[in-house]
Copies of this chain bind each other. A is one copy, B any other.
């Protein structure tokens, strides 16, 4: 698939839907977007797609799970690690830059099968100079958390003196903020190392690079610029020969090692001893296993094919594979957006694909929340509630890190109050929902006993204490924010209230299971969390008395109290193809709040997740009402994939496909103009759900599954692999015979592979 310029995506015929291609040096205004697109990683660290030799306007970055540092507005962010990808190239004394001189035959390819990123070009300093052929390759070792490697080949058309410098560069920043102090460095003719330390959190990060050169007899030396130690090579190439510099890099942080420097040197040597081919083969083998568990094949739609794999890839590289003390931030590990904070996006949008393709990764993500219980309890206590109220934004420790005030971009003397950390309370239920989803799909009782139950139970305590009994005899939540953030400080948000009831009921089920199967743990938690008959009775009372908006006649669920009384949204403007800005940009947040326009599905999200609680007619009625009032194009990036699922459930898979394409293009084609800040993780995770739960119509039961396909017209078939209750299934679905919603039974697709 080409992502160059504004050319519509097309499939590279030879790549069979596995390769992201760029065929021209990105224009200056595209540089940061393409850095995001070409992000690679291994579930411990990710590195943006910056050029090895550098390019003006880049925001190069590597992020490693756990290396948080303080930040004044956003409280905490992952510190951008020293830049390890760099290889500077001089040809006959001229510094190579693809912004200067003459560039021909430029190609960049990201092979999703292996995570290998390659870039080739022919370059001349000027029209008269002889050309060199350059090849840059790099990958992050999928089998070793700290490992990565870069290889640069220079082939000369004519005799040429080539200098190659391979630094570890500590002069990095997080969009203007410096996080690291320089601690120490070494450099000689074969290796360089660097030690830095975060300023507030005093996390030490060590990097080591072992550098080799193949080619005509060269001289090598260490260069010791402060903060940027390097190994340098210089050689005299004769026409037609090639110099190949290989840089084996290890990055180790003190969060996972007592001896980061020693471990980094050890790992870099290990990689170098094994050699490029062996390390890449080992890493590729891990990728092969991963794809075997998760691949999705779309026959008939190259764009959908590459976009699905690409978005899976981006989540797979960001997911916490080597620790259970981290999870995936809203913008993954691919940019600076939202400062790597973890939102509900993670459990509600990204978790399902891991639950069903790599449950061990899903377990890490949920264990991260369990480690954050102290922060959730502190938040509940600070708000005068019992139990565990999860933070809206969570970083290393799991305390609330939502900014309270941020600068007003229109008036630098003003600040804007961010309320989500105060009153967007539904996330506590979203996490519990993720826990039960994982448990239901995996049957991982050990996890449930040790971690899951505690999260669900302590969350229920929060809900029971936060709900307010009013004169009408019902329980209410006032002044909250639901998924649709165009409306804040609303009363009785349907999503929140229904989920509170769901959570309270689920807690009772979990408690019964725990008491039955693990009475000692139940006793322990009962004691610690003061769960007694009275407490459980209150859960039941609150759940039974919860105010739940539903118009029995129309089937409509009012998004919050008073929503239907608001002036209608400007549907003509909303649905106009001419619109190029979000409704928030057009009307302001206050303007949006005064009408029915939605930033993203809210009642739809509720009916998607708690579909058992609504009838099919209610679903269709609400879809018909809310879908046209939603800013799918420029509202929240969380919306389109969920809207795609719900369109399918409402029987309109072609409209679902429109929504799906919007999600597919969020990052690859940057249709929201903010992909430079990082991958839209929720959108990426939602695409998997749109394909599997929407177009394939997968439904899971305790010990089986069924599919109810509604493929877009252009799709000949859809094949996907998932794991349920320990069994892996690869299923192919087609549109033949015509699916109907009234056909509940049996798998409609063909289960071709029970692994």
Stretch at the interface among A105-113, A409-417, A463-471, A563-571: A409-417
Residue of B with least CB distance to A404:
B413
Other A-B pairs, 19, CB within 8 Å; known A176-B199, A225-B230: A70-B412, A72-B73, A72-B407, A72-B412, A75-B412, A75-B413, A171-B171, A171-B226, A171-B227, A173-B178, A176-B177, A177-B177, A177-B178, A223-B223, A225-B225, A228-B228, A400-B413, A404-B413, A415-B415
- A405 interface residue, CB < 8 Å from B? yes
Q: Give chain B nearest CB distance to A504 CB in angstroms.
A: 29
Q: By the criterion CB–CB under 8 Å, are B412 and A226 in contact?
A: no
Query: What are 6 A-B pairs at a CB distance below 8 A?
Result: A72-B73, A75-B413, A169-B226, A176-B177, A226-B228, A400-B413
How many residues on chain A are close to B (CB under 8 Å)? Answer: 28
With the chains together, A412 CA to B200 CA distance in Å? Answer: 13
Tell me if B414 and A226 are in contact (CB < 8 A): no
Q: Which of A88, A167, A228, A412 has the most CB of B within 10 A?
A: A412
Chain B residues with CB under 8 Å of A88's CB are 226
With CB as the reference atom, state the residue of chain B lying closest to A90: B224
Q: What is the distance, in angstroms, from A172's C-beta to the closest C-beta of chain B?
A: 10
Cα A167 to Cα B177 with chains together (Å): 23
- Neighbour of A223 across the interface among B171, B225, B400, B407, CB < 8 A: B225
Quick one: given A171-B227, A223-B223, are A414 and B404 in contact (CB under 8 Å)?
A: yes
CB distance from A92 to the nearest CB of B (A): 15
Residues of B within 8 A of A228 (CB): 225-226, 228
Q: How far is the CB of A94 from chain B (nearest CB, A)?
A: 12
Residues on the B chain within 8 Å of A176, using CB:
177-178, 199
Bitwise interface map of A from 57 to 84 toward B, beta carbon under 8 Å scored 1, else 0? 0000000000000101101000000000
Near B by CB (< 8 A), chain A positions 221-238 give: 223, 225-228, 230
CA gap between A141 and B392 in the complex, in Å: 56
Question: Nearest CB to that of A73 among chain B residues?
Answer: B72
Contact with B along A145-188 (1 / 0, CB 8 A): 00000000000000000000001010101001110000000000
CA distance A207 to B240 in the complex (A): 41
A198 vs chain B, min Cβ distance (A): 12
Q: Contact between A415 and B404 (Cβ–Cβ < 8 Å)?
A: yes
Residues in B with CB closer than 8 Å to A75 are 412-413
The A87-107 residues at the B interface (CB cut-off 8 A) are: 88
Report the minimum CB–CB distance from A389 to chain B (whole Å).
15
Cβ of A227: which chain B residues have Cβ within 8 Å of it? 171
Instruction: For A175, give the chain B residue with the smallest CB separation.
Output: B178
Inter-chain CA distance A226–B400, complex, in Å, is 39
* Chain B, residue nearest A229 (CB): B225
Given the known inter-chain contacts A171-B227, A226-B88, please indicate yes or no for A405 contacting B415, CB distance below 8 A.
yes
Contact code string A407-445 (vs B, CB < 8 Å = 1, else 0): 100001111000000000000000000000000000000
Interchain residue pairs A-B with the least CB separation, the first 9: A225-B225, A171-B171, A176-B178, A173-B178, A404-B413, A405-B415, A72-B407, A225-B228, A176-B177
